[in-house]
């Protein structure tokens, strides 16, 4: 894992251009819906932006800035959505998000972080292997509830469904729908059951690196014991963590696929077909960790030379190779569905507002961003907002409850099952 000092080149290279705050010019459609940084959008100070956080990181590193009570809140107000990182890389190659995450890790190392809510999350995970502190024995309870569901938690299989904490405990319908989809597509699979622990994503993104690394090793051991080759997820947080964090900690020989990719492949191969039309106009929200933050992380060690040249060459994660086409193609293949796009989409999608622990520590702030995203979704004329992240779902449903009649939220797996 990198330390904050490893990102000095990024800190020193920032030239105050402001691109971290806005969608790249050629991709905008006017001033409205052009801002991309949730915290700068709300607070309008440079400190609340990728640029500002880089400067704070450098000043802390150089001893020019001291901790005070407000600094921790500022650092943790960021949703860690990565929009600043993607847009900065349209100008030059820098690791803005990794610097922000390393800054959070430094706060934890120096005893200044995390936020109390995140510390309690880590304590719960140490006891129960999930972020909610719920009994570990209940993690796979969803698999045994519905009659006819054949999810197995015992036999080895090359494909494993990794449900995740939020799905297992808060949104069991998503887990059951995912298994139904795998069965309909004829994909033999296993569910890890009690062997599955939290993916570690919430710990990683709040700077609690050591605790997150323990989750990685526990899950890797379980996957290797089962002979797993491919991991399927229905949760964006798990997907982005498996692809973006696990290779930083250990050798990670597994293929990771989102359920939308599985459905698309099954449709293309003729192993799955939709028989029921669904009459709705929907817009797809790209979750940060399924979209711009889902590109596989390739570890790099080397030297940064003049003009930022990396030797040996570095595999950059620019956000453009996220899972964008699969969910759109699948939803568009359902008879009666019209898919309309929001202005900020794909690698430039606006965060739901709840990422990076913000919903837990700053719920009112999260709702301001959610309301802006709902405003953008409503502007498309759609009646349904669809995504594939239980954390986005929580944030959006809270926001939609404040706007009766605006639109409804549906998870991707529910629409697929309804159309089978």
For 129-263, list the strands marked E by DSSP: 159-162, 190-191, 230-233, 255-258
d(CA 84, CA 64): 24
| Residues 355, 380 contacting (CB under 8 angstroms) | no
The residue with tokens 């449903």 is: 397
Decide: residue 158, CB within 10 A, 0-12 exposed, 13-18 middle, 19+ buried.
middle
Q: What percent of the chain has pLDDT over 90?
A: 88
Decide: residue 279, CB within 10 A, 0-12 exposed, 13-18 middle, 19+ buried.
exposed
Determine the 3-state secondary structure of 282 from DSSP.
Answer: strand
Write phi, then psi, for 40 (nearest 5 degrees): -65, -35
The residue with tokens 């939709």 is: 274
Determine the 3-state secondary structure of 280 from DSSP.
Answer: strand
Q: Is the pLDDT of residue 154 over 80?
A: no
| Residues 149, 180 contacting (CB under 8 angstroms) | yes
Which two three-digit tokens encode residue 365?
A: 């702030």
Which two three-digit tokens encode residue 344?
A: 């900020």
| Residues 22, 86 contacting (CB under 8 angstroms) | no
**Domains, the chain, with CATH or none:** 1-113 (1.10.1060), 116-268 (no CATH)
User: DSSP of 330-377, one letter per residue?
Assistant: HHHTSTTEEE---SS-GGGPPP-S-GGGHHHH-HHHHHHHHHHHHHHH
Q: What is the pLDDT of residue 145?
A: 54
Average pLDDT, the chain: 94
Q: Is the pLDDT of residue 352 over 70?
A: yes
For the CA atoms of 48, 51, 53, 56, the dihedral, rounded to the nearest 10 degrees, stands at: -120
Closest by CA position to 350, among listed 317, 379, 308: 379
Which two three-digit tokens encode residue 180?
A: 């139904």
Q: Is the pLDDT of residue 184 over 80?
A: yes
| Secondary-structure percent of the chain, ordered helix, strand, coil, rounded to 5 | 50, 10, 40
Q: What's the rounded mean pLDDT across residues 328-350? A: 97
What's the full length of the chain, in residues? 420
Q: What's the rounded mean pLDDT across residues 90-98? A: 93
224-246, pLDDT tens digit by residue? 988 999 999 999 999 999 999 99
Q: What is the pLDDT of residue 406?
A: 78
Q: What is the pLDDT of residue 175?
A: 95
pLDDT band per the 50, 70, 90 thresholds, residue 147: very low
């Amino acid at each position: 894992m990198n330390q904050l000092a490893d990102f000095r080149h990024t800190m020193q290279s920032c030239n105050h251009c402001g691109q971290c705050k806005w969608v790249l010019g050629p991709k905008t459609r006017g001033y409205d819906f052009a801002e991309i940084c949730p915290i700068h959008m709300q607070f309008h100070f440079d400190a609340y932006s990728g640029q500002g956080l880089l400067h704070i990181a450098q000043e802390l590193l150089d001893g020019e800035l001291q901790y005070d009570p407000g600094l921790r809140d500022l650092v943790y107000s960021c949703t860690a959505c990565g929009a600043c990182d993607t847009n900065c890389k349209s100008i030059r190659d820098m690791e803005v998000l990794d610097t922000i995450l390393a800054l959070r890790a430094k706060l934890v190392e120096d005893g200044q972080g995390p936020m109390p809510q995140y510390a309690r999350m880590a304590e719960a995970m140490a006891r129960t292997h999930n972020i909610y502190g719920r009994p570990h024995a209940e993690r796979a309870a969803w698999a045994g509830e519905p009659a006819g569901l054949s999810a197995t938690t015992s036999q080895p299989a090359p494909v494993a469904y990794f449900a995740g904490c939020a799905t297992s405990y808060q949104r069991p319908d998503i887990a059951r729908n995912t298994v139904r989809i795998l069965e309909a597509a004829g994909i033999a699979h296993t569910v890890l059951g009690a062997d599955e622990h939290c993916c570690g994503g919430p710990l990683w993104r709040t700077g609690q690196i050591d605790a997150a690394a323990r989750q990685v090793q526990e899950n890797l051991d379980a996957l290797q014991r089962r002979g797993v080759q491919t991991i399927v997820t229905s949760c964006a947080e798990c997907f982005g963590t498996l692809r973006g964090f696990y290779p930083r900690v250990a050798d990670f020989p597994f293929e990771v696929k989102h359920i939308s990719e599985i459905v698309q492949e099954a449709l293309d191969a003729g192993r799955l077909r939709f028989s029921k039309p669904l009459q709705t106009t929907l817009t797809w929200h790209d979750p940060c960790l399924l979209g711009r933050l889902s590109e596989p992380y390739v570890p790099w060690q080397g030297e940064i030379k003049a003009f930022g040249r990396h030797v040996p060459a570095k595999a950059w994660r620019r956000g453009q190779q996220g899972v964008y086409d699969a969910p759109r193609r699948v939803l568009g293949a359902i008879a009666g569905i019209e898919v309309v796009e929001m202005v900020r989409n794909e690698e430039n999608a606006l965060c739901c507002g709840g990422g990076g622990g913000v919903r837990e520590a700053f719920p009112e702030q999260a709702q301001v961003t959610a309301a802006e995203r709902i405003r953008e979704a409503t502007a498309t004329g759609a009646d349904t907002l669809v995504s594939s992240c239980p954390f986005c779902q929580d944030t959006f449903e809270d926001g939609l409850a404040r706007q009766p009649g605006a639109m409804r939220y549906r998870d991707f797996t529910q629409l697929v099952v309804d159309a089978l």
